[in-house]
Amino acid sequence: MPSIAKPIAVHPSLHRNKIGLTIRDYEGSMSTLCAGCGHDSVTAAIIRAFWELSTPPHMIGKLSGIGCSSKTPTYFVGGAHGFNSAHGRMAAIATGANAANRELTYVGISGDGDSLSIGLSHMCHAIRRNVRMLYVIENNGVYGLTKGQFSASADVGSKSKRGESNRLAPIDPVSLGLSLGATFIARSFSGDKEQLVPILKAAISHRGFALVDVISPCVTFNDHAGSTKSYLYTRKHEVKATETDFVPPAAEILATIGPSGTTNVTMHDGSVVRFRTVPKDYDPTDRRLVTEYLQDHQGSGEVVTGLLFMDETVQDLHELNQTPRHALSKIPYEKLCPGAAALEALQAEFR
Amino acid sequence: MHQRLRTRINDFAIKLANVNGTGSASANSLLMQAIFRMGIPVSGKNLFPSNIQGLPTWYEIRVNKEGYTARALDYDLMVAMNAQTYGRDVREVREGGYLLFDSTYPLDPGFHRDDITFLGVPLSHMCNENFKDPRERILMKNIAYAGTLAAVLDIDMKVVEALLDEKFSKKKALYESNRRAIRLGYDFAKRHFECPLPFRLETMDANGDKILIDGNTATALGCVYAGATVAAWYPITPSTSVMDAFTEFCHQYRRDPETGDNNFLILQAEDELAAIGMVIGASWNGARAFTSTSGPGISLMNELLGLAYYAEIPAVVVDVQRVGPSTGMPTRTQQGDLFEAAYASHGDTRHILVFPANPAECFELAKSAFDLAERFQTPVFFMTDLDIGMNDWVVPRLKWDGTYVPDRGRVLGAEELKRIVKFERYNFEDENQVVARTLPGISSKGAFFTRGSGHNKHGIYTETPEEYQEVVDRLLKKHKAAAEFVPAPVVRKREGARIGVLTIGGCDPAVSEAVDLLALRGIELDYMRLRGFPFCRDVERFIADHDFSFVVEQNRDAQLHSLLILETSQPKDKFRSVLVYGGFPLSAKHVVDGIARQLEV
């Protein structure tokens, strides 16, 4: 992907986070996506989320597959190692990276082609393993880089730019995630930064696989009348199931209580996710009820958004495998090699 | 009466024809292990089907006091326990040989031979009389024939009984049954046959402190000693037991004594695409990581192997080769993945290959595979095969050099990064054309973007011809530089030889024996066994120094031969092929015939 370096001048009045960095320190190179692309808004939200969380840039691992969305890790946190891998394989590579070093914060950026077609199985199995990472699907229902084919998330009846109507049933990552036992599931809209930033912060803090499906319209190939992934359609049909605040550990809880009351979910690291304006029948910790709610609303053509489900009780990949708290890659070799005496003793078995 | 075989001590071959899934494997390995413990050079080859129960399976044991343990093709004794294959099993016995059968049922007279001796043992009858449980009646028939063989071959019963003691010390019921069954067969033979037969065993001391081990177990152990912490795999015959053994060894040696934590993580992936992806992700992040697979798995891994090659990420791929193409014959052996491994993936790609020849080398060279992968920041294939991987081999005792330090290659740490002005991922190569890498989590100064798309030496995306070529040209030079770092070939020269013979891996015992047999016929050959690709200068010299060389390998398309033509400067007429690729382990007879035919002797 071509990338253009940005000027590095920082205005002295810019706010600094807990580790003394300004938001500009979380930027990457200049985006080369189309003007108005939803993905750039997601990038901006990611930059803000990491800055607000004060995550040291070098402790972030950015991974992606191939496609428009997968280009975006170059556009945020330039001080982090990035890995633009192969189409659909990001989840597998991220799983290996996470296995080797659990100390980093992993963010995987994918698209609907990457995650719901060529890499579907890898995403599903990363969910099953509960690999701790933020997994963003920048979902626009279309293959942009190859100029406008339907993707697996295109709705039945949605029209392509050339006027063809999609006739295949869509794969919905949220429903899929729910059925696979995902422990953190959200859907948002690239045009709603206010909703997206706290969701991303909660997702980053979640100990496990955090699936964030972001409707991110493709201004070039899928933003016309008849498309169900356009800015206009999404704005018209969005229904917010929840609005969330992310309260980091040890921060005072000051947020106002919404009219429908609030639900607090304490996260593993002590952070709290506060659900505001929750409809009465909505419980973001009850997988069965969430599934039912989503099916009801999706049936009537609504795009349900918000932090839809979370479960903080499930062990992640490392806990399931009882690995040490620090990175496997940092264990000194002397500790890994059983040595000559053990080899000698073992060979009694081979006689 | 047929002509009796002349008396031979510690020099014969037997074949056991069984039905898969009837428990014959434990009886057969018991025999092999007992002979090994008697200090006699022995090999066991399991010729098994891709099946859990019902299809024919054979086990061959060759005993040879000179130490020749390649597969034999002449059988002095057949244990015919499978009615499905009885016809061909009878035919395979050498003239004057013996056939042991279950005399509970009548033999098909149509297959009778006058030139061999039939030894009938009422195995089913004896086991039905002595055991109640139906499954046990089937299992114990095998142990009973092992008892008969112990009698007719003069296997030391003390050794057999000691083995049963060890195997079943914790399972009393099984122990009793096995003891009884072995005695049934033994006593019957002593009462009814002339024991021992003209070919028999005699305790010797050829095995010293050698061990009996299969290649997959040894490979797994080698990976533990090499310091691998992450392993990802998808089950596939014949490599599954690599990861089974790795898992077992990790539980044994990698549990932190203080915390109880697992200093390893083994991922059973959703497919081989993911398995190699996980290995690449873990290696990118600084862990020693590997996958174990076979040909069909490599086919799937091709995509990401190209990424690892181009982005310069270490990866170790254990390829226990089986018979292709496609599903092929999963339980049969071949060396058919050489092309696939050497040039895996689209575009200009080439990889380092390591060829161990036996389980001892599987252990010893595993660490070399990791060292090469990290030094050259590239995938390394560890090419074994089903014969090496799944059969038990008698090999020298494994030794560990306590001074070994892993070669982690050029990795810049935080301090080194402080000293440099700017880090550029693909710039400033060393004398082997290797550039420095950095690991995530160390410093923002070392941050870079790993990508499989076109990049220049600064690590930045490019579509510029000169910038693209500069990087891929260095990759080619780096690959060539690896030639002098891969394990060196093993050479055995004979006085006055003007013809060479080249081979790899599990062909070694057969080719080695063939070289000696041909020398007896006056054909002198120098022998070189290759252990790595790219080929080092010694390979080039060996070929140049001989009028021509035979290339012995187990595939149809002469893949090693072709690689030698492609990757050395030697002319085509310097090589002649000997190809054996039906799927069973190689025999010296194959090699002798293949060479002699071409020399018109």
Query: What per-residue confidence (pLDDT) applies to B1?
Result: 44
Query: What per-residue confidence (pLDDT) applies to B5?
Result: 64
Q: How far is B406 from chain A (nearest CA, A)?
A: 8
The model's pLDDT over B391-444, given as tens digits with 9 standing for 90+, comes to 999 999 999 999 999 999 999 999 999 999 999 999 999 999 999 999 999 999
The mean-pLDDT minimum among A1-5, A98-102, B495-499 falls in A1-5
Count of beta carbons in the 10 Å neighbourhood of residue A125: 20
Count of beta carbons in the 10 Å neighbourhood of residue A341: 10
Q: How far apart are CA B226 and CA B380, in angstroms?
A: 14
Query: What per-residue confidence (pLDDT) applies to A272?
Result: 87
Residue (of B384, B365, B356, B350) closest to B482 by Cα position:
B350
Residue (of B343, B347, B325, B361) closest to B533 by Cα position:
B343
Distances (CA, A) of A329 to A101, A102, B384: 6, 9, 27
Q: How far apart are CA B214 and CA A193, in angstroms?
A: 59
Same domain, B174 and B318: no
CATH number, domain containing residue B590? 3.40.50.920
Query: What per-residue confidence (pLDDT) applies to A263?
Result: 79
Tabulate helix, strand, coil % of chain A (nearest 5).
Answer: 35, 20, 45
Say whether A247 sits in a helix, a strand or coil: strand
Establish if B1 touches chain A: CB-CB under 8 angstroms.
no
Chain-centre distance of CA B409, in angstroms? 28
Q: How far apart are CA A122 and CA B273, in angstroms?
A: 9
Q: Is residue B218 part of a domain?
A: yes
Q: Is residue B225 part of a domain?
A: yes
CB-based contact B448 A81, cutoff 8 Å? yes
Q: Is residue B208 part of a domain?
A: no
Nearest CA in chain A to B392: A350
Chain-centre distance of CA A12, in angstroms? 32
Q: How far apart are CA B543 and CA B538, in angstroms?
A: 9
Look at the block and give the residue holding tokens 């100029």.
A147
B 401-420: CB under 8 A from A: 401-402, 404-406
Count of beta carbons in the 10 Å neighbourhood of residue B395: 20
Query: What per-residue confidence (pLDDT) applies to B213?
Result: 98
Residue (of B499, B491, B526, B497) closest to B598 by Cα position:
B499
Q: How far apart are CA B26 and CA B21, in angstroms?
A: 11
CATH number, domain containing residue B372? 3.40.50.970
Number of domains present in the structure of chain B: 4
Partners of residue B450 on adjacent β-strands = A83
Containing domain of residue B451, as a range?
A: 411-468
Banded model confidence at residue A257, pLDDT cuts 50, 70, 90? very low
Q: How far apart are CA B218 and CA B246, in angstroms?
A: 9
Helix axes B24-37, B134-153, angle to 10 degrees: 30
Q: Chain B contacts of A122, Cβ < 8 Å?
A: 270, 273-274, 277
Partners of residue B438 on adjacent β-strands = B412
Q: How far apart are CA A256 and CA A279, in angstroms?
A: 17
Count of beta carbons in the 10 Å neighbourhood of residue A236: 11
CB-based contact A100 B285, cutoff 8 Å? yes
Q: Is residue B519 part of a domain?
A: yes
Mean pLDDT of chain B: 96
Same domain, B226 and B360: yes
State whether the Cα torsion A200-A206-A207-A208 is positive or negative.
negative
8 Å CB contact between A151 and A142? yes
Query: What per-residue confidence (pLDDT) applies to B290?
Result: 99
User: Which of B285, B303, B418, B450 would best serve as a mutation to test chain A binding (most A beta carbons within 10 A)?
Assistant: B285
In whole angstroms, how large is the CA radius of gyration of chain B? 27
Q: Is residue B403 part of a domain?
A: no
User: Which of A74, A336, A344 would best serve as a mutation to test chain B binding (most B beta carbons within 10 A)?
Assistant: A336
ipTM: 0.96
Distances (CA, A) of A328 to A60, A255, B21, B327: 17, 40, 40, 36
Phi-psi region of A318 (alpha: psi -120 to 50; beta: other; left: phi over 0): alpha
Q: Which helix (H) or strand (E) holds A191?
A: none
Looking at residue A139, what DSSP letter applies?
E
Q: Chain B contacts of A85, Cβ < 8 Å?
A: 277, 280, 304, 307, 450, 452
Banded model confidence at residue A254, pLDDT cuts 50, 70, 90? very low
Q: How far apart are CA A97 and CA A64, in angstroms?
A: 12
Q: Give residue limits of the domains in chain A.
A: 23-334
Banded model confidence at residue A259, pLDDT cuts 50, 70, 90? very low
Query: What per-residue confidence (pLDDT) applies to A278?
Result: 80
Count of beta carbons in the 10 Å neighbourhood of residue A135: 28
Query: What per-residue confidence (pLDDT) applies to A1?
Result: 47
User: Which of A19, A50, A93 would best serve as a mutation to test chain B binding (most B beta carbons within 10 A)?
Assistant: A93
Q: Is residue B290 part of a domain?
A: yes
CATH number, domain containing residue B68? 3.40.920.10
Same domain, B252 and B357: yes
Q: Is residue B480 part of a domain?
A: no
Q: How far apart are CA B599 and CA B534, in angstroms?
A: 30
The model's pLDDT over B231-252, given as tens digits with 9 standing for 90+, comes to 999 999 999 999 999 999 999 9
- Sort strands B525-530 and B449-451 into parallel, antiparallel or unpaired: unpaired
- Sort strands A243-247 and A272-276 into parallel, antiparallel or unpaired: antiparallel
Nearest CA in chain A to B252: A338
End-of-domain residue from the set B395, B423, B447: B395
Banded model confidence at residue B334, pLDDT cuts 50, 70, 90? very high
B 240-259: CB under 8 A from A: 253-254, 256, 259
Same domain, B114 and B230: no
The model's pLDDT over A66-95, given as tens digits with 9 standing for 90+, comes to 999 999 999 999 999 999 999 999 999 999
Same domain, B50 and B23: yes
Examine the pLDDT at B134 and tell me if it is beyond 90: yes
Examine the pLDDT at A9 and tell me if it is beyond 80: no
Helix axes B134-153, B123-130, angle to 10 degrees: 130
The mean-pLDDT minimum among A221-235, A241-255, A280-294 falls in A241-255
Residue (of A110, A114, A113) closest to A133 by Cα position:
A110
Q: Is residue B1 part of a domain?
A: no
The model's pLDDT over B514-557, given as tens digits with 9 standing for 90+, comes to 999 999 999 999 999 999 999 999 999 999 999 999 999 999 99
Query: What per-residue confidence (pLDDT) applies to A248?
Result: 85
Residue (of B239, B530, B243) closest to B385 by Cα position:
B239
As a whole number, mean pLDDT of residues B54-69 equals 96
Same domain, B222 and B329: yes
Chain-centre distance of CA A227, in angstroms? 24
End-to-end CA, chain B: 36
Same domain, B24 and B129: yes
Same domain, B304 and B336: yes
Same domain, B356 and B445: no
What top-level class would CATH report for the domain A23-334?
alpha beta
End-of-domain residue from the set B179, B200, B221: B200
Q: How far apart are CA B450 and CA B460, in angstroms?
A: 9
Instruction: Give the ranges where B254-335 is alpha helix by DSSP (H).
Output: 272-284, 295-311
The model's pLDDT over A157-185, given as tens digits with 9 standing for 90+, comes to 999 999 999 999 999 999 999 999 999 99
Examine the pLDDT at B453 and tell me if it is beyond 70: yes
Q: Measure CB to CB from residue B256 to each of A83, A324, A342 and give the nearest one.
A: A324
Same domain, B387 and B462: no
Distances (CA, A) of A159 to A152, A217, A227: 14, 14, 5
Partners of residue B461 on adjacent β-strands = B455
Say whether A66 sits in a helix, a strand or coil: coil
Angle at A125 between CA A123 and CA A129, to 5 degrees: 120
